[in-house]
Amino acid sequence: MYIEKIHGPQDVKRLTVGEMETLAAEIRKALLEKLSAHGGHIGPNLGMVEATVALHYVFDSPHDRIVFDVSHQSYAHKMLTGRAEAFLDPARYDEVSGYTNPAESEHDCFTIGHTSTSVSLACGLAKARDLRGGHENVIAVIGDGSLSGGEAFEGLSNAGEMGTNLIVVVNDNEMSIAENHGGLYGNLRRLRESGGRDACNYFRALGLDYLYVGQGNDLEALIAAFRQVKDTPRPTVVHIHTQKGKGYVPAERDRERFHWGMPFNLATGEPKVAPQGEDYSELTGRFLLDAMRHDPRLVAITSGTPAVMGFSPERRREAGARFVDVGIAEEHAVALSSGIAAGGGRPVWGVYSSFIQRTYDQLSQDLCINNNPAVIAVFAGGVLGMNDETHLGFFDIPLLANIPNLVYLAPTCREEYFAMLGWAIRQTDHPVAVRVPDGGVVTSGATFETEYGALNRYLVTQRGSRVAILGLGNFYGLGEAAARRIEAATGIRPTLVNPRYITGVDEALLEPLRTDHEVVVTLEDGVLDGGFGEKIARWYGPTSMRVVCRGVRKEFADRYDARELLRANRLTEEQIAEDVMALLR
């Protein structure tokens, strides 16, 4: 095998084109074996194998700098830069992250996980080079799906003005995670169809030179193109047309499902572990589609991740114009939602906690100043969501909860979630976000209020004394368990509260607790800094109440084990009970 002899790009440069073709086949085979056993990004990596080999053949990393957008397509790059064993040896599969990572290799320029950032980051490297008088090439590798994000446009337009060496490889596989959305993609199509010759050219309009490679999985064509642009003094786009999922029939056929996946059967492409019954994505899609049948004003919106809100291709077809995928363009999704609400529609945007980070100003300016009644369903908020440092789901509370006018709700179970979501859609007084429960569907069987318009009224679910536990959303159950432990150990029956509202303090509930409670505990599935608990701590600050806030430390935890993270933050039921009891005297 060639791949075993590749210890760095210098070893690629010694190969013939025929040998590189064999190398590409070996890489593809290793990728499929690892990904089918381990899970990961499948389609994006399979399509980029030849381009990655060609990049390392033509350019001289790490002297030349290659910045991968999103960087979930960097697996072949990792294999060619000294990390092949992490793909070949099952015992070492976990040695590398799923994204570029400067801590792993000098060939990785940045830790990157969100889309649309590579061109701007590369502009920075180019600017630093020019100040220094350097001559290396700076290369950004960006997928077509990432071009829809505003940051990518800002980067391209500024690259166009810089007038210096900066090579943008646009990997056009005609797909985002799902199909692409946005008028830009019509231009990419016309460019593909005209072999790059269409005079109306998005990249040229922004001031970049442009080169088209129709055979983006052909090594010779790629090598020729990269050689042509190497050392160019101009910002230049190399638009390569590749095939997502290339070389694996199931992934070529179902490109959306094979964008990212859990372990699968290599022979059939079927998941090894069947989906475990219902999840909140599936339930949400069903709920919204059903609600659409009764409410002609309802519109479901996604920004490139339809599956998280349960909109499979079938549901998308059924919803028709009532389902809008804006592509990876979260800022637009918020402003669009505000506009639809202002026009009398009922928009529901479903988004991952990690990606709502891209919209603070739109939430504040476009939505909340205008107080339009758009609805946001925030998925995978908390420590049980994605656990890569680039995709953490536990920063949404500080982001959202400190914006005026927004109502952010934290349901504790399935029934409460849909009660809150239903109210959010019906009401017309506030922008409302709902933090979709995470960590498995909890069916409490309980009945919940259907009206939440009297804001910031917490719910006492158990009336006790001395200790009150405010268990927010996902951590309500943890609060229940801690309360049981405290009662079993001390005979003290804590008061248990479901706060429901993340964005406000229920003063009428907190004040009387002062008469017969000494300790208030807040539990939140999120970072402590700027979060819910601190609002409670501030409110009780001038009083004699002892307040214990539990959540996670402010840090970019990476590939953590959720149980360990919780334990390290004293968030097990035993630890909470222990800490509370230590305060009782």
Site for its own copies in 542-581 (CB under 8 A): 542-544, 546-549, 554-556
Asked if 130 is part of the footprint of its own copies (rule: CB under 8 A), the reply reads yes
What are the structure tokens assigned to 174, written together? 């005609």
Q: What beta strand segments (E) does 271-419 contain?
A: 298-302, 323-325, 346-352, 375-379, 407-409
| Shortest CB 179 distance to its own copies, Å | 11
Residue 517 backbone phi and psi in degrees, to 5: -130, 145
The whole-angstrom separation of Cα 299 and Cα 337 is 9
Asked if 181 is part of the footprint of its own copies (rule: CB under 8 A), the reply reads yes
Single out the residue of 59, 68, 110, 475 in contact with its own copies (rule: CB under 8 A).
110
The whole-angstrom separation of Cα 565 and Cα 291 is 38
Any idea what DSSP says for residue 365? I
Asked if 156 is part of the footprint of its own copies (rule: CB under 8 A), the reply reads yes
Find all residues with CB under 8 Å of 423, minimum gap 6, and list them: 432, 450, 451, 452, 453
| Shortest CB 322 distance to its own copies, Å | 7
* Strand pairing class (323-325; 375-379): unpaired
Asked if 209 is part of the footprint of its own copies (rule: CB under 8 A), the reply reads no
> Do the Cβ atoms of 525 and 551 come closer than 8 Å?
yes
Asked if 302 is part of the footprint of its own copies (rule: CB under 8 A), the reply reads no
Single out the residue of 22, 215, 232, 357 in contact with its own copies (rule: CB under 8 A).
357
| Shortest CB 441 distance to its own copies, Å | 29
* Residue with token string 């922008």: 431
> Which residue, 358 or 414, is less far from its own copies as judged by CB?
358
Single out the residue of 398, 465, 487, 562 in contact with its own copies (rule: CB under 8 A).
398
Which residue, 49, 206, 53, 67, is CA-closest to 136? 67
Asked if 315 is part of the footprint of its own copies (rule: CB under 8 A), the reply reads no
Asked if 199 is part of the footprint of its own copies (rule: CB under 8 A), the reply reads yes
Asked if 381 is part of the footprint of its own copies (rule: CB under 8 A), the reply reads no
Residues between 491 and 550 with contacts to its own copies, criterion CB under 8 A: 527-531, 533-535, 537-538, 540-544, 546-549
Residues between 20 and 79 with contacts to its own copies, criterion CB under 8 A: 65
Asked if 322 is part of the footprint of its own copies (rule: CB under 8 A), the reply reads yes
| Shortest CB 462 distance to its own copies, Å | 22
Size of site (CB under 8 A) for its own copies: 120
Q: Which residues pair with 157 in a beta bridge?
A: none
What 3-state DSSP class applies to 398?
helix
| Shortest CB 352 distance to its own copies, Å | 12
The whole-angstrom separation of Cα 126 and Cα 66 is 11
Single out the residue of 96, 222, 401, 510 in contact with its own copies (rule: CB under 8 A).
401
Single out the residue of 114, 241, 315, 466 in contact with its own copies (rule: CB under 8 A).
114
> Which residue, 38 or 297, is less far from its own copies as judged by CB?
297
C-alpha pair distances (Å), 482 with each of 470, 472, 475, 536:
11, 13, 10, 19
Q: What beta strand segments (E) does 83-165 contain?
A: 138-143
Single out the residue of 12, 24, 122, 167 in contact with its own copies (rule: CB under 8 A).
122
Single out the residue of 8, 82, 250, 345 in contact with its own copies (rule: CB under 8 A).
345
Asked if 296 is part of the footprint of its own copies (rule: CB under 8 A), the reply reads yes
Asked if 145 is part of the footprint of its own copies (rule: CB under 8 A), the reply reads no
What 3-state DSSP class applies to 113?
coil
The whole-angstrom separation of Cα 488 and Cα 208 is 70
Single out the residue of 204, 234, 457, 484 in contact with its own copies (rule: CB under 8 A).
204
Asked if 294 is part of the footprint of its own copies (rule: CB under 8 A), the reply reads no
| Shortest CB 100 distance to its own copies, Å | 10
C-alpha pair distances (Å), 79 with each of 32, 71, 96, 441:
13, 14, 10, 38
* Residue with token string 């399935």: 414
Asked if 123 is part of the footprint of its own copies (rule: CB under 8 A), the reply reads yes
Which residue, 118, 120, 140, is CA-closest to 70? 118
Asked if 405 is part of the footprint of its own copies (rule: CB under 8 A), the reply reads yes
The whole-angstrom separation of Cα 578 and Cα 575 is 5
How many residues does the structure list for the chain?
A: 585
Residue 437: asked if its preceding bond is cis (omega within 30°), the reply is: no
> Which residue, 315 or 322, is less far from its own copies as judged by CB?
322
| Shortest CB 150 distance to its own copies, Å | 2
Stretch that binds its own copies, among 81-89, 152-160, 443-451, 467-475 (CB under 8 A): 152-160
- Hey, what amino acid is at 521? V
Asked if 275 is part of the footprint of its own copies (rule: CB under 8 A), the reply reads no
